[in-house]
């Protein structure tokens, strides 16, 4: 079981680098630093997650995209930061709508 | 009132808002006194029961994530540090001071949600950027739109006109404020912070949060608050009146060395901590 993304504390200090193997000791250390969750790259974990995901209705995604187009109307949507923000904001809306159904 | 010529005129004479809480002034004096110590700082905080309770709640919240509970103000001062606790005291006092403004244009809950989210994002960006004393960024984020409250309270008719113009010609709210009033909420916020005699870094980060490149001395601070405001809008957490993401200054992001991949981390952290921090700051 390895870390999928670097684990960084509130002050920006990297506590565990990407792809570090997680041991009982590193879990204990992370808890001491107040880190209670982390993304892991583990085949069995991804299978478990995949089984629980229900597909989102296309109209939910379309609705989210229209909200995002309005929300970002004053920005340069070709800017890589803006593009990533739009992607994350769209996912956020889709997840919350999917959670309501 | 008559239409003010400049932001300073708008802020002046507003007794309720133009005075900073007394406890903060006393804390400030103690901080700059060479003879101050943890005991003195703690005893000033403890004289305000509400402030003590709020500070203890925040140091024990997910915002700090300390593994052990902190039960006393003096322990909080030792663990968090005098400067950081001083800044948190300012943040919580200001939120309290502005809670009674009538919510004709936005609800206070929505206003503080946006402001606190902006403060939290600013703190995370400052941490990623390895800035010192990151709580000052939290305060700057909390204060960034405070000028809007002054506009809503002092010149509601002009505020009405601003909102009615947004429906006719879509443009960022701060630009419509400039056209309608002659200046925007950022300039008003800067003037208010100046009358409170708060640090220049706070004044510039509020004054230039829509145009961080205009900041003369504190461009990092203004850029952090600019980026944080954009992210808080993108997350659609509360609103100070503006319902769209404001124009993004691409140079500010480059200047801070932020990468697009930092954004998902910021979203997750804010989503996880926001409710806890809001409860801490807003409830008595």
Q: Are residues A37 and A62 in the same domain?
A: no
Instruction: Please report, for the domain that includes residue B250, its CATH number.
Output: 1.10.3210.10
Whether A75 sits inside 8 A of B247 (CB atoms) is yes
Provide the domain count of chain B: 1
**Chain segment B144-162, per-residue pLDDT in tens:** 999 999 999 889 999 999 9
* Inside any domain, residue B85: no
Answer with the residue of higher pLDDT: B63 or B271.
B271
Q: Are residues A8 and A42 in the same domain?
A: yes
Angstrom distance (rounded) from CA B107 to CA B110: 5
Nearest CA in chain B to A39: B265
> Which domain, by its residues, includes B213?
7-17+101-282
Q: Are residues A10 and A38 in the same domain?
A: yes
Enumerate residues 6+ apart whose C-beta is below 8 A from B106.
Answer: B148, B152, B239, B240, B241
Q: Are residues A43 and A13 in the same domain?
A: yes
Q: What is the count of residue pairs from A and B with beta carbons less than 8 Å apart? A: 83
Q: How far is B128 from chain A (nearest CA, A)?
A: 4
**Chain segment B52-85, per-residue pLDDT in tens:** 888 888 888 888 888 888 989 999 988 888 888 8
Q: How far is A76 from chain B (nearest CA, A)?
A: 7
pLDDT at A55: 65
> Which domain, by its residues, includes A33?
2-52
Q: How far is B171 from chain A (nearest CA, A)?
A: 7
Q: Are residues A40 and A76 in the same domain?
A: no
Whether A88 sits inside 8 A of B234 (CB atoms) is yes
pLDDT band for A29, please (50, 70, 90 cuts). Answer: low
Angstrom distance (rounded) from CA A30 to CA A32: 5
* Inside any domain, residue B94: no
Whether B244 sits inside 8 A of A72 (CB atoms) is yes
pLDDT at B18: 57
Report yes or no: A66 at the B interface, CB cutoff 8 Å.
no
Domain boundary among A37, A52, A67: A52
pLDDT at A50: 44
The whole-number average pLDDT for the span A28-47 is 64
pLDDT band for B221, please (50, 70, 90 cuts). Answer: very high
Q: pTM of the entire structure?
A: 0.80
Angstrom distance (rounded) from CA B16 to CA B12: 11
* Inside any domain, residue B107: yes
Q: Are residues A48 and A86 in the same domain?
A: no
- CA B176, chain centre distance (Å): 22
Nearest CA in chain A to B62: A34
Whether A71 sits inside 8 A of B67 (CB atoms) is no
Q: Are residues A48 and A7 in the same domain?
A: yes
Using a CB-CB distance cutoff of 8 angstroms, which residues of chain A are in contact with residue B267?
Answer: 88, 92
Report yes or no: A60 at the B interface, CB cutoff 8 Å.
no
- Residues above pLDDT 90, as percent of chain A: 24
pLDDT at B252: 93
Whether B65 sits inside 8 A of A81 (CB atoms) is no
Whether B234 sits inside 8 A of A31 (CB atoms) is no
**Chain segment B99-119, per-residue pLDDT in tens:** 667 778 888 889 989 999 999
pLDDT band for A98, please (50, 70, 90 cuts). Answer: confident
Provide the domain count of chain A: 2
pLDDT at A52: 47
Report yes or no: B199 at the A interface, CB cutoff 8 Å.
no
Report yes or no: A98 at the B interface, CB cutoff 8 Å.
no
């Amino acid at each position: 079981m390895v870390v999928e993304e670097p684990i960084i504390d509130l002050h920006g200090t990297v506590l565990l680098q990407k792809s570090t193997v997680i041991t009982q000791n590193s879990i204990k250390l992370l808890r001491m630093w107040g880190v209670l969750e982390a993304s892991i790259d583990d085949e069995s974990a991804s299978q478990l997650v995949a089984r629980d995901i229900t597909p989102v209705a296309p109209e939910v995604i379309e609705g989210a995209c229209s909200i995002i187009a309005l929300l970002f109307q004053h920005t340069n949507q070709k800017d890589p930061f803006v593009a990533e923000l739009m992607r994350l904001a769209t996912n956020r809306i889709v997840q919350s709508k999917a959670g309501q159904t | 009132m008559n239409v003010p010529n400049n932001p300073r005129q708008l802020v002046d004479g507003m007794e309720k808002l133009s005075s900073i809480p007394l406890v903060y002034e006393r804390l400030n004096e103690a901080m700059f006194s060479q003879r101050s110590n943890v005991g003195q700082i703690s005893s000033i905080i403890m004289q305000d029961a509400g402030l003590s309770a709020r500070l203890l709640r925040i140091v024990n919240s997910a915002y700090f994530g300390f593994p052990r509970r902190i039960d006393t103000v003096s322990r909080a001062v030792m663990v968090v540090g005098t400067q950081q606790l001083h800044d948190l005291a300012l943040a919580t006092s200001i939120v309290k001071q502005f809670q009674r403004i009538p919510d004709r244009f936005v609800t206070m809950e929505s206003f503080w949600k946006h402001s606190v989210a902006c403060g939290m994002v600013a703190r995370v960006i400052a941490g990623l950027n390895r800035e010192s004393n990151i709580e000052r960024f939290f305060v700057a984020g909390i204060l960034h739109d405070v000028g809007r409250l002054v506009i809503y309270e002092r010149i509601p008719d002009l505020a009405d006109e601003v909102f009615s113009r947004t429906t006719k010609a879509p443009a960022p709210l701060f630009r419509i404020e400039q056209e309608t009033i002659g200046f925007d909420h950022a300039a008003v916020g800067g003037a208010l912070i100046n009358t409170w005699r708060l640090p220049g870094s706070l004044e510039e980060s509020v004054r230039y949060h829509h145009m961080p490149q205009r900041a003369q001395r504190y461009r990092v601070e203004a850029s952090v608050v600019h980026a944080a405001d954009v992210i808080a809008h993108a997350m659609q957490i509360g609103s100070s009146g503006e319902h769209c993401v404001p124009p993004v200054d691409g140079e500010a992001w480059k200047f801070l060395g932020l990468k697009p991949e930092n954004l998902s981390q910021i979203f997750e952290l804010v989503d996880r901590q926001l409710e806890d921090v809001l409860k801490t700051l807003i409830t008595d």
